[in-house]
Structure 1
């Protein structure tokens, strides 16, 4: 019942109630929440996952739609879904931090383009890292792991008891610190070489004040940066896989404890 003398099909109301958590997770998660993904596709995926949840779990939605308890249950469902997607989205911020460090040292921090994932202007190097992290995320079936965690969340956090405790919220906040650390570690190999180059260029400027640093330092930084990226990228790709595993592990820890 809607609570106003109106009725709604129980199956449709149960599906809509389940789609709240799934849709919130997809809206905040990478890949699924990108602006390049049409809204109709996102809603269709949410409905398909909702049907899967209803077929594997016994979900009892609140009896009345327009009731305070129903609004609180919907808010709890949305909070759980947003938390799961937010953890993954935080992990995807690590390459952007690395690109800021590397791009600033290389002198290409001004080069930016529109990121198709969020529709905002991001550094070109950061977009390259984000695309690589997205491809690695899909290659290790991270999207399927997210769907599996959504299904398991209805066992660990059933509707009506889905409010997250302080420990879970604290873990989400501390994972943001890990994302910053991961971004700095991702930029460490190339950033260290560029730092050494800047020290050498600074020593040269002190030894020969008439030397034009812009004519020597900027081409040298670009050349060393490109070569260092080419050499270090296999190791950076391996560390991106570590970031993906840690983010999926953080989602699993939040859901299953």
Structure 2
């Protein structure tokens, strides 16, 4: 208890800067920013985690750092926000995957409300996102995310964030990568539905009496669901690659000059 009081009274400025960086991650990170998690729990976890980090810092006070205190707060908040943004961008891969799948199998007009973000999302996107989220927790991915936050102080000490051209380019490339990954994971379903469309086109020419629209829609849904069920066993492997890319990009940002 005395150690906590010493940190809050003697190193309160340093504690506040750490708290700002941790809170920045909570704003965007899919794991911590969920609205299903009570705000009091988020605040408590940020507070305790910031205390643990501050107690291990060698910096005695903010007076040893360069720059105004307001500028330091902005820099620390930006570090947390960028790390949270990178993790959120890679989790958006599963929404993109679901959107492509929905359009292919005929669910493009159907959306559901995401209670976390208060927006409409594709049906299969919601399914893939929840499944990926559970796999992320099951494989202790949240531990790696917390470790990345701790390591961020090694690569970007307090007050030393520099937003370079390389950093901006990396953040833009991450968006392009998310679309690419989403399409690659959805490629088995896209190819299957494309082949089925070709088959239906051939049948409509050979059997003009057959109503392709009446037969095609339910057939797409059935075939699409079968392909989804068949690819579920390898979904764990695919999500593993996405999470590895996410951690790689986070550390690339931390190590960037």
Q: Which residue of 1 aligns with 2:133?
A: 134
How many aligned positions are there?
A: 246
Name stretches of at least 5 consecutive residues in structure 2 with no aligned partner.
1-7
Q: Which residue of 2 aligns with 1:54?
A: 54
Pairwise CA distance, 1:71: 1.6
Q: The residue matched to 2:11 in structure 1 has which SS?
A: helix
Q: The residue matched to 2:121 in structure 1 has which SS?
A: strand
**Segment of structure 1 superposing worse, 27-36 or 163-172:** 163-172
**Segment of structure 1 superposing worse, 38-47 or 156-165:** 156-165
Pairwise CA distance, 1:57: 1.4
**Segment of structure 1 superposing worse, 152-161 or 186-195:** 152-161
Instruction: Tell me the TM-score normalised to structure 1 length.
Output: 0.89
Pairwise CA distance, 1:230: 0.9
Pairwise CA distance, 1:122: 0.7
Instruction: Give per-residue Cα distances to partners, 1:170-219, cap 9 Å, x unaligned.
Output: 22221221111100011011111011111211222333344222320011
- The 3 A distance-change label for structure 1 pair 209 and 196 is same
- The 3 A distance-change label for structure 1 pair 91 and 180 is same
Q: Is the 8 A contact 2:17 2:72 kept in 1?
A: no
Pairwise CA distance, 1:61: 5.3
Instruction: Give per-residue Cα distances to partners, 1:58-117, cap 9 Å, x unaligned.
Output: 345545xxxx82221111111111111111100011111111111111001222212233
Instruction: Give per-residue Cα distances to partners, 1:210-251, cap 9 Å, x unaligned.
Output: 422232001110110011111112223311110011101111
Q: Which residue of 2 aligns with 1:78?
A: 77
List aligned pairs for 1:20-99, cutoff 5 A: 20-60=20-60, 62-63=62-63, 69-99=68-98
* CA root-mean-square deviation: 1.9
Q: The residue matched to 2:115 in structure 1 has which SS?
A: coil
**Segment of structure 1 superposing worse, 210-219 or 119-128:** 210-219
Q: Which residue of 1 aligns with 2:161?
A: 162
Does 1:19 pair with 2:19? yes
Q: Which residue of 2 aligns with 1:3?
A: none
Q: Is the 8 A contact 1:15 1:47 kept in 2?
A: no
List aligned pairs for 1:1-257, cutoff 5 A: 9-60=9-60, 62-63=62-63, 69-257=68-256
Q: The residue matched to 2:249 in structure 1 has which SS?
A: helix
Pairwise CA distance, 1:256: 3.4
Name stretches of at least 5 consecutive residues in structure 1 with no aligned partner.
1-7
Q: Is the 8 A contact 1:105 1:191 kept in 2?
A: yes
Q: Which residue of 1 aligns with 2:4?
A: none
